[in-house]
Amino acid sequence: MKPDWPLHWLKSTLGYEPRNLELFTAALTHRSASGRNNERLEFLGDAVVNLLIAELLYQRFPKATEGDLSRFRASLVSAEPLARIAQRLALGEELQLGSGELKTGGFRRQSILADAFEALVGAIYLDAGLDEARRIVVELCGAELENLPDAASLKDPKTRLQELLQARGYALPIYSVENIVGEPHAQEFTVRCELTDLSLTTSGVGSSRRRAEQEAAQSLIPQVEARWASARKGAAS
């Protein structure tokens, strides 16, 4: 461990000088390592990040619906974007991990990085209050916010497929489990999705029934859109 850890990193990377350094040693210590770890701070930081991102989106998109704001927030506070922020900060290099996690590359693992980022925000909130936590979150999440996709594209495939069909007055999809293989703790589901009105069927595979249904719905969306595009083209000619 560096003698000035994590003080130098906090100053040079975040421009932040802590009042209580112990909060940040805990925030950057994974449960696999000895000593106080970041699980409690991650719990708190998760709530703070959700609040600040919700506030930021509310201000940024004054005409967005509640559903759109919820989808935007979910896309910003999930493990993947938070881990990307942590990677940009080289946060993984500052984490204290147990020997097992070190051997398996835990400092690169998405879930560990995302949790550590939330713990860091939780520590800043306790150390300096909400305004300073807001400054850090707004500054660090700016790139993710600028790259937000259209709200409609953030809907899950089953919802998008259902809305496509309802817009044309067609019957809803019928999902049925075709096969389940594997041990109870590691099952693989195959689900069939059928659109009776359009005579279209496909199958999806996933580690749960829901994931398999989403996969099946995702593969049907372009087929439905292509069918309608062809029908419009035929009607226009």
The residues carrying an active-site annotation are 46, 118
Give the integer Cα–Cα distance in Å for 178 and 213: 11
- What is the amino acid identity at position 144? E
Give the integer Cα–Cα distance in Å for 198 and 181: 30
Phi, psi of 123 (to 5 degrees): -65, -40
Give the integer Cα–Cα distance in Å for 42 and 184: 30
Q: Tokens standing for 194?
A: 């059928």
Count the neighbouring beta carbons within 10 Å of the beta carbon of residue 148: 17
Closest to 49 (Cα-Cα) out of 22, 83, 76: 76
Phi, psi of 96 (to 5 degrees): -95, 115
Q: Tokens standing for 198?
A: 């359009």
**Cβ atoms of residues 38 and 115 within 8 Å:** yes
Cα dihedral 224, 152, 139, 29 in deg (nearest 10): -60
Cβ partners under 8 Å of residue 194, min gap 6: 173, 174, 176, 200, 201
**Cβ atoms of residues 84 and 144 within 8 Å:** yes
